Amino acid sequence: MNRLQGKVALVTGAGRGIGRTIADTFAREGATVIATGRSEANGFADGVEYHRLDVSSDADWARVVGEVTGRHGRVDVLANNAGVIAYESLHELTVESWQQVVAINQTGVWLGMREVVPHMQRTGGGSIINVSSIWGSVAVAGAHAYHATKGAVRNMSKSAAITYARENIRVNSLHPGFIRTPLTEAQDPEINEFVIGQTPMGRAGDPQEVANGALFLASDESSFVTGSELVVDGGYLAQ
């Protein structure tokens, strides 16, 4: 308990699933948590406040971070978790579909980092956790835009880590495997069965298992960890 005592943490895509669990976990560990999403949500743990945020909107980011720093004076942790998935092959993708996935999965991560970094520079550092995926490192057939964006998040994190290392701003990427969430539950069951079947541990992960990784990266326990990829995937990428 209290591994994040006194820290102010902003979590995107926190209405449900992994983001919701990260927000609640951070709050239980003592952080003041700003959970964000595109629709209303409630029922969070004590210490969580909720703000509407479209991560693809420059103006929304400026508004939310302005409200947070105006009220709390700082942002110590940013967990860029918001994301969407689409199973479309390269030749099937429309420009509109491509732009939507890029806007949320990639541009949203960049905008979030760009907005909080100056505040972290002012207060002497912080931790940024960008949620990528096992499919940011390897691929399956189809899901072209998703693979492109999650691979981008992986390298964007490394670039930012190197850029701001001397200012004590740590940037790491988090790579979940198949996790049982409302997002995956809405997928074709055959896709889910295939990915679980390819996972050496033979089961789906739980959102709390990913949140535990995010907690480590957010805490001072990871003070010498930056530019790294934390994989939570039941052994998928070890193959």
How do strand 48-52 and strand 77-80 relate by DSSP bridges?
unpaired
DSSP secondary structure of 118-158: HHHHHHT-EEEEEE--GGGTS--SS-HHHHHHHHHHHHHHH
Phi-psi region of 17 (alpha: psi -120 to 50; beta: other; left: phi over 0): left
At residue 66, the 3 state secondary structure works out as: helix
Inter-residue contact 133 to 176 (CB < 8 Å): yes
Q: What is the token pair recorded at 5?
A: 């005592």
Degrees to nearest 5, angle at CA 134 with 175 and 215? 10
Q: Please name every residue paired with 40 in a beta bridge, in sequence order, or none if there are none.
A: none
User: Which one of the listed residues 50, 146, 164, 236 is annotated catalytic?
Assistant: 146
Q: Nearest-CA neighbor of 178 among 134, 132, 124, 121?
A: 134
Distance CA 134, CA 139 (A): 8
Degrees to nearest 5, angle at CA 38 with 33 and 44? 35
Catalytic annotation present for 146: yes
Active site residues: 146
